[in-house]
Structure 1
Amino acid sequence: MDNLGQICSAALQQYLSHGEARGLDIAAALEAANLDAERIRQPDARIPGVSFQTLLHTLIHQARDPLFGLHTSEFVQPGSYNVMGYIAMSASTLQEALSKVSLYEKLVGDMGTTDTQVTDNQAAIRWQCRYVQQPARQHLIDNVLGSWVRYARWLTGNEKLAPAQVWLEHPRPRAALVEEYQRVFLCEVRFAQPCSALIGPPDLLQQPIRQPDPLLLSTLEAHAIQQLNQLGVETSLGQRVKQCIQDAIGHSLPRKETIAERLGMNVRTLHRRLADEGHNWQKLLDEVRLHRARQLLCQSPAPQAEIAEALGYSDIRSFQRSFKRHTGITPGQFRTRHKSDL
């Protein structure tokens, strides 16, 4: 049997809550999976993936619901994602919240990996499920994508929020089940696709979160990194520095001293460890600025002077020189080429 890693006990609760609401025999399902009822209620407990798969198969068999996984998404809440759920609550936009997923999804478990790809015309949020056995795989995919959409609606306060399309790798079911998928996602659902993903326009990711809190975000991320370390999961320093810069951009010019302190080291150690990974501070700062500049030029009518200030440049000319040095064209030329996206 494949090594299925672990899952945090908090992520089990959606399935158990839905099972209880359906009147399923939860005790029997836990016994079949050799799971202790008291242990799985402990928020920091880690459950073997093999046991989770057995639990899931047992509940699916009891429910006799071909959309069991989709229906469990109704019970998503911040705690379903461990501390990552609260990190998302403290972000400023859906895109910022998603940027944290690749960093911290190991805290939720080893069920799969998330990949967000954004082009000028399309954003694709893909999830690759680690579980290969059916029916667990299909129901996990349905749960994850359904939970993402429901949680995004809650985060933004927009109950009508929906992607343009949902892609699912499994075969197309009968018409009544397709209608249920569409009822949950509020959009076209395509089956037998090459991957499972939410597809939509890039500006969908710019939806603001209801109550962003940069200070709380910083505290929660520090806690998340500590939890990852306790699990023996190493995070790239370069990746963590870029996240810190992204958090600061738009509020103030990121200072290496402040970020080094946030990461628990002095500036000299920061430089040395970045060099060990083949990075340097200025390169990471430039990468974050350039990425954000492209977003703002494509998706916002803000004047270049305003963008330059938001990105921490001393003046508009410094911004224009830096942008052209990295892209070969001016910000104005870049915006003109992408004006159809505004």
Structure 2
Amino acid sequence: MSKHFRVSGRLPVKLKELGVRVSSVLEHAGLPSGLFDQSRISLSTEEFFALWRGIGQVSPDPAIGLALGTETKAEHFDPVVLAALSTGNFGEAMRQIARYKQLSCPEELVLEAGDAEWSIHFRWLLAKEMEPAVLTDLCFAWVLGIARHGTGTRISPVRLELQRARAHAKPLERHFGCPVVFGAARNAIVFRASDTALHFVTRNAELLAMLAPQLDEELKRHKGEESFPERVRATIQKKLTGSRPKMQEIARELHISSRTLQRRLQDAGYSFQRALEEARHQLARHYLTNSLLELSETAHLLGYEDSNSFVRAFRVWEGVPPAHWRGARREKAAL
């Protein structure tokens, strides 16, 4: 997993086009004034969130995130989006993006399909606080932009779910063309399950055949740079969905034997238990920061038998009970 976010060099250009002073944004965010003079801009999660909070503070437009997240010119799409648009349908495109997301940042695109609905939300893996509202708006506008560009239609989701209190509902409802649920348990954009099969008019097998091998090679290099414990931890997190994954299961996912998994972790000064606890700790912070899940629900998702076991583990990690930790984070965010 990459530990930093790459920031597009197009961002300051778009900010200027929208009448937002870049220098003011950087000042509010506490970031270097020459940040955008660099050829490659890389920010930690904390710095990345500060940048988007700064944009929200400086811009008088409550819909600035929607404007920044909407791109209509194909020449401004990055290779990952171009590859996604070259696939056959909306569902395939989102799965492609989710796979390559790890190339650029400590963030996951989570796709959850049910019988009637298909939801998409973003998981900020190293976040210590809730993502800024501007960033949430941008991410969902970006998803919708890909859907509309790919299908060539004005597709709209079933609804938009936002954790924040009700504010500026009209611009959101206009942009997404659907109801917006405020005070929700998560931030998510929800489509019909059948929307995954919507044909892409932008399908281009030749372009995909050119881009996919390059992205796959970069993904392979990225995984090679990742330490083995990091790979194990990331694999455990994908399997932490209500039960505690066993070593044999993780080894199978990594296409190695349990003995090899154990030996390689020991060579790195790790144990499977330590990798499991770090994976749980990281996800616990994410759930407590970015969702309204009850502690019992969080404990279940992390594979604990009961809430008390989770509370004891969290005290060891952070020195305080999870409810106190969450409360402190919310107070800080409110300030």
The normalised TM-score by structure 2 is 0.59
> Where do 1:220-259 residues align within 5 Å?
220-231=211-222, 232-233=225-226
Q: Is the 8 A contact 1:91 1:213 kept in 2?
A: yes
Inter-partner Cα distance in structure 2 for 1:16 and 1:197: 27
For 1:223 and 1:102, the matched residues in 2 are separated by 16
Partners of 2:254 and 2:48 lie apart in 1 by: 38
Report 1:1-342 matches (<5 A): 5-10=3-8, 13=10, 15-30=11-26, 32-34=30-32, 35-40=34-39, 45-75=41-71, 82-110=78-106, 112-130=107-125, 131-133=127-129, 136-158=131-153, 160-173=154-167, 177-231=168-222, 232-233=225-226, 276=256
Deviation at 1:90, TM superposition (A): 1.0
Q: Shift of the alpha carbon at 1:194?
A: 1.3
Task: Give 3-state SS (helix, strand or coil) of 1:66's partner.
Answer: coil
Aligned to 1:291: none
Secondary structure of the structure 2 residue equivalent to 1:109: coil
C-alpha contact 1:30 1:37 (8 A) present in aligned 2: no
DSSP 3-state at the match of 1:223: helix
User: Which residue of 2 is the match for residue 282 of structure 1?
Assistant: none
Determine helix, strand or coil for the equivalent of 1:276: coil
> Are residues 126 and 28 of structure 1, via their aligned partners in 2, closer, same or farther at CA, if it must alter by over 3 Å?
closer
Q: 1:50 to 1:129 in 2, by over 3 A?
A: closer
Q: Secondary structure at the match of 1:59?
A: helix
Aligned amino acid, residue 142 of structure 1: D
How far apart, in 2, do the equivalents of 1:124 and 1:167 lie?
A: 10
Contact 2:79 2:211 in 1 (8 A): yes
* Superposed CA RMSD: 3.3
Question: Higher relative CO (CA 8 A, sep ≥ 6), structure 1 or 2?
Answer: 2
Q: Quick one: structure 1 residues 97 and 7, their matched pair in 2 at CA, closer, same or farther if it must change by over 3 Å?
A: same
Note if contact 1:123-1:201 (Cα within 8 Å) is conserved in structure 2: yes
Contact 2:71 2:145 in 1 (8 A): no
Q: Residue 333 of structure 2 corresponds to which residue in structure 1? A: none
Aligned amino acid, residue 66 of structure 1: P
Q: How many residues are paired up?
A: 230
Distance across 1 between alignment mates of 2:136 and 2:253: 38
1:5 Cα offset (Å): 3.0
> Is the CA contact (8 Å cut-off) linking 1:90 and 1:214 kept in structure 2?
yes
Q: Call closer, same or farther: CA 1:230–1:48 in 2, change over 3 Å.
A: farther
Deviations 1:171-216 (A, max 9, x none): 111xxx2111110001111111111112222111111111322343
Between the aligned partners of 2:5 and 2:163, the Cα distance in structure 1 is: 23
Unaligned 5+ runs, structure 2: 232-251, 259-335
State the alpha-carbon separation in 2 of the partners of residues 102 and 84 from structure 1. Answer: 10
Identify the residue that residue 264 of structure 1 maps to in structure 2: none
CA distance in 2, matches of 1:230, 1:79: 26
The CA distance in 1 between the partners of 2:160 and 2:49, in whole Å, is 24
> How has the CA–CA distance of structure 1 residues 228 and 204 changed in structure 2, closer, same or farther, with 3 Å as cutoff?
same
Question: 2:24·2:58 contact (CA, 8 Å) conserved in 1?
Answer: no
* Deviation of 1:24 (Å): 2.2
Measured against aligned partners, the alpha-carbon deviations of 1:45-85 in whole angstroms (never above 9, x if no partner) come to 53444433333233222213333323322346667764211
Larger radius of gyration, structure 1 or 2? 1
Q: Could you report, residue by residue, the CA deviation over 1:99-137 in whole angstroms, capped at 9, with x for unpaired residues?
A: 112210123422x32111222222112223454546x52
- What is the rounded CA distance, in whole Å, between the counterparts of 2:254 and 2:57 in structure 1? 50
